[in-house]
Amino acid sequence: MIAGIGIDIIEVERIARAIERYGEHFLRRIYTDVEREYCDRAPATRVLHYAARFAAKEAFSKAIGTGMTNGFRFRECGVINAPTGMPMLVLSGDLAERWAGYRLHLSLSHTQHYAAACVVIETR
C-alpha cells in the first residue's frame, strides 16, 4: 500500500548559486559525506548531481508530509547508487527510526537546467 508520494523539481542554477555563495558550509549542512564524495567525482556534472540529491531530499520530505520543517534533517536523508546505477534513499537518525518499516522508491532525472525527483513510500 502507498503510504506517501512526493515530487520535486529544482533549477540547477539555484544549487550552483548556493555552492558558490556558501561553499563547503552549504555542502556539509545539506549532504552526507557519501553524497559529497559521489558528486565531487565528476567536476563537469558535479552541480547536476548535487541538485538531483537536493530534489530527492525535498521529495522525501513531501512524501512524509512534513516538508523541510518539523525536525527534518537534510543529512538524515541521503542518496546512494546501487551498482546498477539505480538511486536509493538511505535514512539515518530519527528518520531511519520512524520509517524503518517502509520501502522507499526513488527516481531522479536532470537536464542542464533542472533536476527532478520522485519518492514513493510503500508499506511492507
Residue numbers annotated as active site: 62, 110
- 119 Rama sector, left if φ>0, alpha if ψ -120 to 50, beta otherwise: beta
Alpha helices in 3-112 (DSSP H): 12-30, 33-40, 46-63, 93-98
Whether residue 113 contacts residue 16, with contact meaning beta carbons closer than 8 Å, is answered with no
